[in-house]
Structure 1
Amino acid sequence: MDRIKPFKGIRPIKALVEKVAVFPNNLLNEEERREEAKRNPYSFAHVVKPRIDFPDSESKTDPALFDHAKKYFQKLLKEKILQRDSHECFYIYRQMLNGRSQTGVVAFYHVSEYWKGNIKKHELTREEKEIENVEHMMTTGISGNPIFLAYNPVNEIDTLVNEVKATVPEYHFVSDFDVFHSMWVVSNSKHVERFKLLFNEKVKTSYIADGHHRAASASRVSKLLAEANPKHKGDEAYNYLLTCLFPSNQLKIYDY
């Protein structure tokens, strides 16, 4: 069984990617975030941050929040704002800011690697935040925010990534603070198999740079769904974490 593998991603149509995409913005307060989302019905924030549509809600785990997120996600699918890829793919994601860039590979990563300690942690998590995430995932059936992982650089992977990046990206746009975002869909069978081979042979450990709560929550969801499935085999989608793997030599650590 592959530890790291491609998957059939659900992603926005090219014409609306800038409106769908959600990025952290610590400069906005809660009310400003709500107003921003209200002006943009396509924003995925309505799915991953449903409280923005419930200004009077005091509970972070109100079932109405997660039911709203589920219905909003289904609405975006029905209106074909989001579409699922027909084949299993890897996805190359690049961020550029002030002349420097970092490029990661979005992939499924088997949850057993997290339990074994091969996906390494350095932070503690809060139970209430995990519960909130678990309820969201169990209700919506999606994992909408990848776990940011770092791995020791592998020359062969770098070469393959650069080969893909030499082609025209599926998405390329600028978000707030002049951050450039580009994404390539790796659907070519030879490239897919090569990425899968290299990651499974060369990347034995990785490190959570961001997403400790997402990882802990997804692992709990995996256990819950496995226990509820009498035909559980271990290769179902719920056994995998949604991750974006970056070579560590491209990352820069900032003060928080």
Structure 2
Amino acid sequence: MVKVYRFTGLRPQRAYAAQIASVPYDVVTADEAAEIIRKNPLSFLHVSRTDALLPDIPADDEQIYVQARENFQELQEKGMLQRDDAPSVYLYRVKQGGSLYLGLVACLDVDDYIDDVIKKHEHTRYDKERDRTRHIDATNANTGLVVVLYPDEGDVFGYIESILPEGEPDAVVKTEQGNVHELFRITDRVRLAHIEDLFARVPAAYIADGHHRAKSAVTIAQERRKAGTYGPEDGRFMAILFAHKRVKIHGYSRLVTDLGQYTPASFLAALKERFDVRPYGEIDDTVFRVPPLKEAANLHVVHMYLGGIWYELSTPVKNPEDVIGSLDVSYLQRTVLEGMLGITDPRGDARLQYLGGARPLADLEERVDSGEFAVAFSMQPVDVETVMAIADDGKVMPPKSTWFEPKLLSGLVIHTLGEGKKE
């Protein structure tokens, strides 16, 4: 059963919430983060992405994490971040376009992650995991939300929705895109106990986004247990829980720096031996997904941008019963990235980079047209039931197989760990 915990959150004063709240650390590049911080020095990115402030030192230099700790402490010392007076949970509502999302922010149990009550569907990337582990250790806090799904036919979500306060939110932020993020603190002990009881009846939860943040939090807990510096809050990590039918999934794009032994012409010719390859024609590059020209059950469909042209690659799924092997991302990895380009480690090969599925297709075009990358692949989304079934089977998808919406802001609420490591 899933254990959820109330916690005493660290939050921005209402007057500073809109300035401090930032996009998650992993949806912007260092250059993009630096520009955001330049325009708004209070942006929480100056805690979560201090590498953007120190461009002349190596990405894994200890000074990056020292600076993160100092910047985080400064926000607290100036009173811009203040601790709540008692443990709570928080309702987080996002108004995005025509959609409305409502999630519960609480802490989850590290041991539930270890025991697979909290299920995973993706491997982490080594460099990203190391980075977040060091960041959590340095700041002694979970500064970003892990997005977790719970299977629900309405009972849990219905109750959460019913206790949403009618008054003003404790924090409200409107983004440049027009999305509205609202945070409501729940302190009533009866309601808190009922929420904990409801989740105690839920058999499992599923990480949707934030695999690196979750794994890093678990690593910190294990290290502190061994070191004897373990406090109760070290065994918990902050998450936002959504009912599984109340999120959206996008694909996750791949970018490759070079074509190895191939020229663009020979690469295209080799692909034609493995796929039906069709020039796509004009696309709307302001959207996130290329609509398939050919759409059918048991068909792999991938879109590729090469040499200024979009192509649709399609081929029948050979073994639909193989739930992992039949995924488009698996077939692309096995056949093209590994089989043709020699990228055998999708978790660590520097030639392969990823771009979140809610970025417009123009971002892929720009990165290829600039010469930074040789080719880009845009993926179709996987449905949420497939993701949960894979996790239930104890299997994992290739890295960066799914991009979940909504994306939550960082800095609106923070969970600090226990006594932790002494300096």
Q: Could you state the TM-score of these two structures normalised by the residue count of structure 2?
A: 0.56
Give aligned-pair identity as a percent.
28
> 2: distance between equivalents of 1:219 and 1:27?
22
**In 1, are the aligned partners of 2:165 and 2:184 still within 8 Å (CA)?**
no
* Counterpart residue number, 1:219: 218
* Counterpart residue number, 2:246: 250
Larger Rg: 2
* Counterpart residue number, 2:7: 7
Moved more, 65-74 or 188-197: 188-197
* Counterpart residue number, 1:208: 207
> 1: distance between equivalents of 2:51 and 2:160?
37
> 1: distance between equivalents of 2:159 and 2:28?
38
* Counterpart residue number, 2:179: 179
The one-letter code matched in structure 1 to 2:55 is: P
Please tell me the root mean square deviation across aligned C-alpha atoms, in Å: 2.1
> 2: distance between equivalents of 1:51 and 1:28?
12
* TM-superposed deviation, 1:164: 2.5
**In 1, are the aligned partners of 2:33 and 2:49 still within 8 Å (CA)?**
no
Cα-to-partner distance string for 1:76-130 (whole Å, 9 max, x where unaligned): 0011100111111001011111121111101111011111111111111122221
> 1: distance between equivalents of 2:144 and 2:25?
15
CA gap of 1:129–1:29, structure 2 versus 1, over 3 A, is closer
Cα-to-partner distance string for 1:48-92 (whole Å, 9 max, x where unaligned): 1111211212x2221111111101111000111001111110010
* TM-superposed deviation, 1:27: 8.7
Q: How does 1:151-170 map to 2 (within 5 A)?
A: 151-153=150-152, 155-168=154-167, 169-170=169-170
Cα-to-partner distance string for 1:120-154 (whole Å, 9 max, x where unaligned): 11111122221111111111111101110011115
2:237 aligned to which of 231, 236, 241: 241
SS in 1 for 2:237: strand
Q: How does 1:88-99 map to 2 (within 5 A)?
A: 88-99=87-98
Q: Could you state the TM-score of these two structures normalised by the residue count of structure 1?
A: 0.91
**In 2, are the aligned partners of 1:172 and 1:181 still within 8 Å (CA)?**
yes
The one-letter code matched in structure 1 to 2:85 is: S
* TM-superposed deviation, 1:29: 5.0
* Counterpart residue number, 2:134: 135
The one-letter code matched in structure 2 to 1:170 is: D
Given the alignment of the two structures, is residue 46 of structure 1 paired with residue 42 of structure 2, yes or no?
no
SS in 2 for 1:153: coil
Task: Count matched residues.
Answer: 251
The one-letter code matched in structure 1 to 2:241 is: L
Unaligned runs of 5+ in 2: 253-423
**In 2, are the aligned partners of 1:61 and 1:135 still within 8 Å (CA)?**
no
> 2: distance between equivalents of 1:107 and 1:219?
16
> 2: distance between equivalents of 1:237 and 1:47?
21
Higher helix share: 1
CA gap of 1:24–1:221, structure 2 versus 1, over 3 A, is closer
> 1: distance between equivalents of 2:123 and 2:108?
21
The one-letter code matched in structure 2 to 1:238 is: D
CA gap of 1:218–1:210, structure 2 versus 1, over 3 A, is same
SS in 2 for 1:86: coil
Cα-to-partner distance string for 1:146-165 (whole Å, 9 max, x where unaligned): 11001111533223322332
Unaligned runs of 5+ in 1: none
> 1: distance between equivalents of 2:107 and 2:28?
32
**In 2, are the aligned partners of 1:130 and 1:213 still within 8 Å (CA)?**
yes
SS in 2 for 1:208: strand
Moved more, 134-143 or 26-35: 26-35
SS in 2 for 1:176: coil
Moved more, 169-178 or 139-148: 169-178
CA gap of 1:236–1:29, structure 2 versus 1, over 3 A, is closer
**In 2, are the aligned partners of 1:164 and 1:184 still within 8 Å (CA)?**
no
> 2: distance between equivalents of 1:27 and 1:63?
22
Moved more, 169-178 or 75-84: 169-178
